[in-house]
């Protein structure tokens, strides 16, 4: 039995997005034309402006579709929706400006109108979709739009699905039965030994989705499940028993006319790497140029307040285990610069601090090795600015996992995975709490980034980094 709840929700989002865009463009016109007394480039009536918008905004909706804002996976991932919405609005305003240029007809009465339209569209769309998500979850709690799921298999993956889908209000799924071993306990769920028996028992309830987590030794049984799903227009998903094998990026392709599944360590392959490198060069180069006066001032302050080297260079590991020298502004006092923590604490007569330093994930509150200017640089994250040189040179990326010191590599159980991409100036750990996070949590976030890379996520991480740095969250 097919469940069209997601399709209906998608249609409502399209309608809601369109009306929201009309409201945002109208408000942008009012703010600049009606409330701002400065002269306009072109006198355009509200009627002509709205008429032009009605031609342009459908192109925005099509753009939203291309960036995946109406795919089912986005409905279940707020972070992905935020990233795609940001990119969709930016591309949408470029489409609008391009339409104005190609048609050779003035649409915007002033240059600020498209700027206001972009900002207002993103903010109002974000609010609308947040409200829509909340209403959808409320409907789930009343059983409206919920999909009934039958899980076939009693592997550990089945238990993970049961745990993930257990909260119907959050997931939108209701587990109506499990086909597996009765000896395995699934409290509160109907368990059937065979697929046919489960279908008969659940006939009155109706099944919208089948998730098979393991294959039967008999191919005919597997064919029976797939055939039943296809004949009854039921969503069918197969999950391989070895989920670790498929934890990276997956491509389904033909290899010498045979269907194969290619598993990559990361989604950052092919054109993705090219786009990311261009992004690093262009955006990293721009930030570096803008930051040069500030970097010069910091260099002078370091020299005046703590005479010694301006920069601190340290060997870190990046993509494919390559060694790169990372640049930072020196924050340590000159006499402790370049020393290992054990050597520095012993030199100052406080060897007991080594234990506290290691227990806290290689960090220490009020670290006595750090100079006064160094404390300021660390609290504002300005000591990281020289890494922009590494970004432009291609040693590291703007966004990526934490650049590891060789001795830290032993603390990672998936070394090859974390080193399959370039390290980054910022990353998920930075926007999630930075040094406030335990080391294990930072490691998990790095692994998640590598396995789930997308260009949209990079943009959001970079944008949120500026907010985190300004608020000084997690900086020490």
Same domain, 137 and 164: no
Asked whether residue 350 is assigned to any structural domain, the reply reads no
> Tell me, what DSSP letter sits at residue 171?
H
User: Is residue 172 in a domain?
Assistant: yes
109 contacts 40 by C-beta, under 8 angstroms: yes
Mark which of 99, 118, 141 sits at the end of a domain: 141
Domain stops at, among 141, 169, 184: 141
Is 363 inside any structural domain? no
Residue 341 falls inside a structural domain: no
H or E segment and range at residue 317: strand 311-317
Which 8-state DSSP code applies to residue 30? Answer: I
Do residue 45 and residue 187 come from a single domain? no
- Do residue 307 and residue 439 come from a single domain? yes
390 and 294 belong to one structural domain: yes
> How confident is the model over 370-385, as pLDDT tens digits?
888 988 998 888 999 9
**Confidence at residue 117, expressed as pLDDT on a 0 to 100 scale:** 93
Q: Does one domain contain both 23 and 115?
A: yes
Place of tokens 């986005």: 74
Specify whether 454 is located in the same domain as 314: yes
Q: Are residues 127 and 153 in the same domain?
A: no
Kindly tell me if the per-residue pLDDT of 448 is higher than 90: no
Neighbours of 239 (CB within 10 A): 19
Residue 395 CA to residue 397 CA, distance in Å, equals: 7
What whole-number distance in Å separates Cα of residue 171 and Cα of residue 351? 51
In a domain, 359, yes or no: no
Contact 54, 18 (CB under 8 A): no
Point out the domain boundary residue: 246, 263, 280: 246
Residue 229's domain comprises 147-246
Does the residue 254 lie in any domain?
Answer: no
Distance in angstroms (rounded) separating the CA atoms of residues 368 and 92: 52
Confidence of residue 388 (pLDDT cuts 50, 70, 90): very high
Band of pLDDT at residue 329, cut at 50, 70 and 90: very high
User: Quick check: is 195 in a domain?
Assistant: yes
Q: What share of the chain has pLDDT > 70, as a percent?
A: 89
Please tell me the predicted confidence (pLDDT) of residue 413.
Answer: 66
For residue 259, being part of any structural domain is answered with no
Same domain, 321 and 449: yes
pTM recorded for the entire structure = 0.59
Looking at the 3D structure of the chain, how many domains does it have?
Answer: 3
- Claim to verify: residue 394 and residue 447 sit in the same structural domain: yes
């Amino acid at each position: 039995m097919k469940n069209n709840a997601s399709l209906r929700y998608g249609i409502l989002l399209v309608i809601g997005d369109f009306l929201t865009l009309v409201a945002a463009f109208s408000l942008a016109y009012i703010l600049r034309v009606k409330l701002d007394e400065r002269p306009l480039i072109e006198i355009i009536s509200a009627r002509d402006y709205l008429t032009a918008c009605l031609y342009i905004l459908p192109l925005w909706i099509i753009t939203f579709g291309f960036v995946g804002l109406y795919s089912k996976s986005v409905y279940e991932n707020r972070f992905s929706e935020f990233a795609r919405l940001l990119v969709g609005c930016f591309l949408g305003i470029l489409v609008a400006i391009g339409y104005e240029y190609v048609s050779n007809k003035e649409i915007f009465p002033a240059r600020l109108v498209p700027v206001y339209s972009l900002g207002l569209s993103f903010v109002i769309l974000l609010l609308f979709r947040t409200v829509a998500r909340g209403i959808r979850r409320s409907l789930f709690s009343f059983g409206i739009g919920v999909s009934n799921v039958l899980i076939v298999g009693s592997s550990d993956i089945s238990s993970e699905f049961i745990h993930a889908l257990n909260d119907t209000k959050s997931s939108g799924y209701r587990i109506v039965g499990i086909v597996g071993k009765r000896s395995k306990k699934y409290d509160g769920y109907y368990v059937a030994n065979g697929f046919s028996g489960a279908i008969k028992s659940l006939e009155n309830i109706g099944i919208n989705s089948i998730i098979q987590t393991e294959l039967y030794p008999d191919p005919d049984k597997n064919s029976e499940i797939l055939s039943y799903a296809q004949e009854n227009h039921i969503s069918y998903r197969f999950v391989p028993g070895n989920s670790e094998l498929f934890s990276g990026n997956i491509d389904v392709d033909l290899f010498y006319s045979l269907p194969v599944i290619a598993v990559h360590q990361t989604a950052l392959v092919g054109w993705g790497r090219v786009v990311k490198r261009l992004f690093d060069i262009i955006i990293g180069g721009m930030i570096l140029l803008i930051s040069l006066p500030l970097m010069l001032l910091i260099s002078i302050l370091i020299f005046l307040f703590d005479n010694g080297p301006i920069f601190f260079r340290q060997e870190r590991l990046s993509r494919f285990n390559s060694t790169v020298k990372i640049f930072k502004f020196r924050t340590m006092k000159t006499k402790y610069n370049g020393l290992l923590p054990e050597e520095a604490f012993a030199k100052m007569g406080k060897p007991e601090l080594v234990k506290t330093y290691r227990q806290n994930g290689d960090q220490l509150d009020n670290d006595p090795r750090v100079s006064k200017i160094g404390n300021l640089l660390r609290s504002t994250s300005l000591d990281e600015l020289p890494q922009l040189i590494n970004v432009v040179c291609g040693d590291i990326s703007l966004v990526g996992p934490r650049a590891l010191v060789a001795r830290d590599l032993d603390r990672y159980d998936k070394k090859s995975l974390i080193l399959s991409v370039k390290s980054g100036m910022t990353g998920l750990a930075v926007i999630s709490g930075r040094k406030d996070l335990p080391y294990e949590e930072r490691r998990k976030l790095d692994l998640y980034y590598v396995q789930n890379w997308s260009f949209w996520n990079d943009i959001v991480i970079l944008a949120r980094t500026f907010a985190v740095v300004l608020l000084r969250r997690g900086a020490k």
